[in-house]
Chain A
Amino acid sequence: MGRAAVAAAIVALLVSWSAAGAGAEEAAVWQEWSGFVGAELRGFASSGRFDGQDDDVTGSVVLEPEYFREWNDGRARLVVRPFLRLDTADDARSHVDVRALYWQRVADRYELDVGVRKVFWGVTESVHLVDIVNQTDAVEDPDGEDKLGQPMIRLGLSRSWGLLEVFLLPGFRERTFADREGRLRAPLPVDDDRARYASSAEDTHVDVALRYTHVVGDVDLGLSYFRGTSREPRLLPALRADVPTLVPFYTQIDQLGLDLQGTYGAWLLKLEAIARWSAAVDAQRPGFGDYLAAVGGFEYTFFDLGGRGLDVGLLLEYQWDERRARATTAAQDDLFVASRLALNDVQSTELLIGAAVDLGSGAAFVNVEGSRRIGDRYALDVRLRAFTGVPADDPLAAFRDDDYLQLTLKRYF
C-alpha cells in the first residue's frame, strides 16, 4: 500500500490547499456520502475442473461507499471511493481497492485530476478494445468491465474543436487473478507475487496517454494513443517449490485507438479499432508482435412497443483480431448478438440476453443480465453466464465447467 499512501498524501495536500482557498465561507463547501453494500450468491452448474475448486456455491459481500466534497462552488472537488469484497471460496476475490481517491480542479474549459480514478474510453458493447487506462479487476466478473483504480494526473481541455485529455500514469496496477480455490480461472493458479516485466522499471514505469474526442453532427469520434505497460499479461509457465504455476509477464506496448459512433434516429452504428505494437525484443515471441483488432456493429431500438412502454433493442457486433488463432483474447472472429429489453416501469426492470459466438469453432459465451429496483433503496441483479461448445485450445477453455447463475442484492445509501 506504499503507493496508495503516496497518492493519499498528495491528494491530502491539494485538498488542504483547496480548503484554505475556500476560506471561511462555509456555504461554499458541500459534501455527501453515497454508495452501496451488496450480498452475492453464485451457483455453478458443474463441479470445478481443477484442483482446489471445491465449492459449487459461493457467497460474497461487497461494499463501495463514496465520499464527495466540493469547494468554491464546485471549482475544487474531492472524490474518495474505496472498495471491499469478501468471498467465501476465493481468497484472491476477497480484496480491497481504491477505486477513486482524487482531487479535481474545474475551470471554464479545463479540468485537472490528481490521484486515483477510473476513466472509460469507447463505444461498443461486447468488447472494449480502446479502453486501456484502467487495469481489469478480473476476479470481479469475467466480462472484464470491473476496473481497478489507476493513479494518474489527467488534464482535460474542452474547446470548440473538441476535448483533449493528457494522461500521466505513474504506477502500474497488476491484473487480479482468482486463487487456487476460485472458479473462472486458468488451469494452473497464477502466482501474481512473481509478476515479471519487460521494463526494468517494472511496476513503477510511468505510462502516458492522449485522448481526443469530438462530436461532428451525428458522429462521435475518439482518437487515442497509449505508451507504456500492457494491461494484458502473458501467462508464462513456471515452477514454485516444484509446483507448476503461471507467472504474469507484462510487456511494453504502443497502442493507437479509434472509436466512432454514428447516431441516426433509432440506429447506433459503432466501431472500435486498435493498432498495437511492441518493442523489438518482444516481437520475437509469439503473440507479442504488432497486430490490428477491431469490433463494429449496430444497436437498433424499437421504442414504446405497442404503446406499453416496452423498449426492445437489437445489438449485433463483429469482433476481429488479426492474430486469429494466436490471439490472446476470445474475441478474434466472433459474432455478438444480443437483445436489450427495458420495461420502463416503476422498478426500472431491464434485461439483456446475448451471446458471442466464435465463427470458427462455434464456441459461445452466453450472457444474461437482468436488474430490477425493489422499493426505494434496493436493487436485484441477476446474471447467467454459460460457456458452450468451447474446444480445448480456446482462450475460454478453462471456463468450460464454470457456467453459473449469480444473484446480487444491493442496498444503496
Chain B
Amino acid sequence: MMPNRLSLLLSISLVGGAMLLGAGAAAGATDAQSAFADLDPVAKGRAIAEEADRRDAGFVDSEATLTMTLHNAHGETSTRTLRNRTLEQENDGDKSLVIFDHPRDVKGTAFLTFSHVDGDDDQWLYLPALRRVKRISSSNKSGPFMGSEFAYEDISSQEVEEYTYRYLREEEVDGQRTWVVERVPVHPKSGYTRQEVFYDQAEFRVLRTVYYDRKDDLLKTLDQTEFAQYLDRYWRPLRMTMVNHQTGKSTELQWSDFTFRNGYTDGDFDRASLARAR
C-alpha cells in the first residue's frame, strides 16, 4: 500500500473565486457602482462578490498550464508543473481535472473534482504507480497544497455562498481604484477567520487578497497581476504571488497556454478519463 502521494485536491480553475471577471464593460460597471452606493456594508460586500461571480459565468470550459515555484526563507526554490482542465456546470460547481507533470516522481498523478454548491466536493485521485483510482476525502481545507503557501481552500473552486461579506473601504492597488470587501468563510474547517479582498472598480477583478489566521493574525497576502482577457470577456491573472508573512516563504504561480471552449464533455471528466489522463 502506498501512502497517498498528495492527499487531496483542488480545482484550480477558479482560483480566488471571484477574481475572474468579465467585461460587462464600463457602462455595466458604472451602473453597478451607482447601484452599490445606497447599500449597507453587508449588502454592498455581497453585491460586489456576486457581480464578480456573474461576470465569470459562461466560459463553458478551459485548459491551462500552471508552473508553481516555491521559495523558502533561505532563497531555495522548488518547481511543480501541472495542467488543469475545467468544465462549467449549469446548476452546480465546476468539474475539473488536474494532471501533474513535475516533479517527475508524481508525474501522471491526477485529480478529478466535482465541486458542489451545497455539501462536500467529490474527489478522486489517480495513482499511476498502482494504476489505481481512489475516491478521497475532500474535507482538507486549510492544509498546504503540494508543500506550497496555497491552502486547498485557496485554490479550490469557490462559490459566493461559501462566505459572508462586508464592504470595508476604497483603496488603491498599483494605481487602480479598488473596493475592499471583508469575507468570512462559512466552513468550520477553514484556516482563516477572515479575508480582505480587493476588487478593481473597473472590471471587478480581484487584485489582492489578505488572509488572517485562526487567531486573527495577519498570515498571507496574495497579489494577482498580468491580467489577460479571453473571449473578449473573461479575465485571468497569469501571475499570482502568495507571501506568508509569518514564515517568510512564498509561492508564485505562473499560468500559460489558456484555451477556452475546447468542446469538453462530461465524458472527459469521469473516472475512465482520470485513469488515462496525460
Contact = CB atoms under 8 A, between A and B. Distances in A.
B271 A163 contact: yes
Contacts of B130: 120, 145
B185 interface: no
Given A109-B267, A412-B107, A413-B104, A342 B7 contact: yes
A120 to B, nearest CB: 4
A126 B107 contact: no
A268 B137 contact: yes
Interface in A213-253: 213, 215, 220
B58 interface: no
Nearest to B3: A350
A307 interface: yes
Given A145-B1, A307-B213, A108 B135 contact: no
Interface string A329-361: 000000000101110111110111010000000
Contacts of B191: 304, 307
B103 interface: yes
- Max chain A Cβ within 10 angstroms of own Cβ: one of B6, B72, B137, B144: B137
A391 to B, nearest CB: 25
A77 B277 CA distance: 12
Chain B interface size range? 35 or more
B276 A158 contact: no
A296 to B, nearest CB: 16
B131 A120 contact: yes
Given A108-B265, A120-B132, A376-B78, A311 B105 contact: no
- Max chain B Cβ within 10 angstroms of own Cβ: one of A34, A265, A346: A346
B8 to A, nearest CB: 8
Contact of A311 (B7, B70, B146, B270): B7
A352 B271 contact: no
B79 A376 contact: yes
A119 B271 CA distance: 13
A104 interface: yes
Interface in B155-178: none
A379 B132 contact: no
Given A345-B147, A346-B72, A34 B107 contact: yes
Contacts of A345: 147
A213 B272 CA distance: 10
A266 B139 contact: yes
Interface string B120-153: 1010000000111111110111111011000000
Given A143-B1, A346-B78, A377-B104, A68 B135 contact: no
Contacts, number: 138
Given A266-B137, A351-B3, A213 B271 contact: yes
Interface in A378-413: 379, 410, 412-413
Nearest to A165: B272
B137 A379 contact: no
Query: Do most interface residues of chain B lie in helix, strand or loop, or is the interface mixed?
Result: loop
B135 A412 contact: no
B278 A68 contact: yes
Contact of B104 (A120, A156, A311, A376): A376
A109 B78 CA distance: 38
Interface residues of A, number: 60
A371 interface: yes
A220 B135 contact: yes
A174 B69 CA distance: 46
A205 interface: no
A344 B106 CA distance: 14
Contact of B276 (A111, A371, A376, A413): A111
A376 B135 CA distance: 28
A301 B7 contact: yes
Nearest to A344: B144
Contacts of B102: 376
A346 B146 CA distance: 7
Contacts of B122: 215, 263
Contact of A303 (B134, B143, B265): B143
Given A158-B267, A376-B103, A413-B104, A265 B120 contact: yes
Contact of A348 (B8, B147, B270): B147
Interface in A249-283: 261, 263, 265-268
Interface string A290-311: 0000000000010110010101
Contacts of B134: 123
A95 interface: no
Contacts of B144: 304, 309, 344
Contacts of A347: 147
A186 B189 CA distance: 51
Nearest to B76: A346
A74 interface: yes
Given A304-B142, A348-B5, A373 B105 contact: yes
Given A108-B265, A158-B267, A263-B136, A309 B1 contact: no
Contacts of A352: 1-3
B118 to A, nearest CB: 13
A369 interface: yes
Closest 3 CB pairs of A and B: A412-B104, A304-B143, A350-B3
Interface of B: 1-8, 70, 72, 78-79, 102-108, 120, 122, 130-137, 139-144, 146-147, 189, 191, 213-214, 265, 267, 270-272, 276, 278
Interface of A: 34, 36, 68, 70, 74, 77, 104, 106, 108-109, 111, 118-120, 123, 125-126, 143, 145, 156, 158, 163, 213, 215, 220, 261, 263, 265-268, 301, 303-304, 307, 309, 311, 338, 340-342, 344-348, 350-352, 354, 367, 369, 371, 373, 376-377, 379, 410, 412-413
Given A350-B5, A354-B1, A377-B103, 10 more contacts: A109-B267, A119-B131, A120-B131, A163-B271, A265-B120, A267-B137, A307-B191, A346-B78, A351-B3, A379-B105
22 contacts: A34-B107, A74-B278, A108-B267, A163-B272, A215-B135, A268-B136, A303-B143, A307-B214, A309-B143, A309-B144, A338-B1, A340-B3, A341-B3, A348-B5, A348-B6, A348-B105, A350-B4, A352-B1, A369-B1, A373-B105, A376-B79, A412-B105
